[in-house]
Chain A
Amino acid sequence: DIQMTQSPSTLSASVGDRVTITCRASQNINSYLAWYQQKPGKAPHLLIYRTSSLETGVPSRFIGSGFGTEFTLTISSLQPDDFATYYCQHYHRHFQTFGQGTKLEIK
């Protein structure tokens, strides 16, 4: 089974900062990687799919990149609404595996 590992587990940053979250796959997953944002008490929200495709309505400050086994989610300039937990997800042929999550906190 493919394992997804995110780092860091927690990230402290300030409004306006540029931050990057990393997601590593235990084997080559090509570009089948998505990112979700989850706020407390809410369902996850799809941000990016196929490594770098922005879901409709998601601000362009969210940038996904990578291929194979290493992927990143970059938020170019943090906004107050961005403080949340982020999950990467490998998906292929309708099987899914999530990373353990990265909590983005206000410094």
Chain B
Amino acid sequence: EMQLVQSGGALVQPGGSLRLSCEGSGFTFRSYWMHWVRQAPGKGLVWVSRINSDGSDTAYADSVKGRFTISRDNAENTLYLQMNSLRAEDTGLYYCARATEVVPNDMWGQGTMVAVSS
């Protein structure tokens, strides 16, 4: 079965750090670009970051640039999001998704919750 399984969400204090993981299985993980998308409670979807298939090219939303780092380990079929200097407004459900140039986000992880609060 093709799937993305996420982990790493937690309650963290403002200014803290967290690393999210997203493990792919049942498909050729290294062939896909990967994205992180977040959703604040009761709100819409917001694109956060993306990485190309070999990990050499990354991009970030302005709201997280300089604080978040996306990376991947194709040998382990795993995508990461290192989140530093966390703020209350970073609170939400974080999804990973795979994409190609032609078909965007055709598979999503189940989501992992990040809560930033003192």
Contacts and interface: CB of A to CB of B under 8 A. Distances in A.
Interface residues of B, number: 22
A107 interface: no
A8 interface: no
B52 to A, nearest CB: 7
A55 B106 contact: yes
Interface in A57-107: 87, 89, 91, 94-101
Please classify how large the interface on chain A is, using the bins under 10, 10 to 19, 20 to 34, 35 or more. 20 to 34
B103 A101 contact: no
A94 B99 contact: yes
A101 B104 contact: no
B27 interface: no
B103 A49 contact: yes
A87 B39 CA distance: 12
A44 interface: yes
B44 A46 contact: no
B59 interface: yes
Interface of A: 34, 36, 38, 43-46, 49-50, 55, 87, 89, 91, 94-101
23 contacts: A34-B105, A36-B45, A43-B109, A44-B45, A44-B95, A44-B105, A44-B108, A49-B102, A49-B103, A55-B103, A89-B45, A89-B105, A91-B104, A94-B59, A94-B101, A95-B47, A96-B35, A96-B47, A96-B105, A97-B47, A98-B45, A98-B46, A101-B45
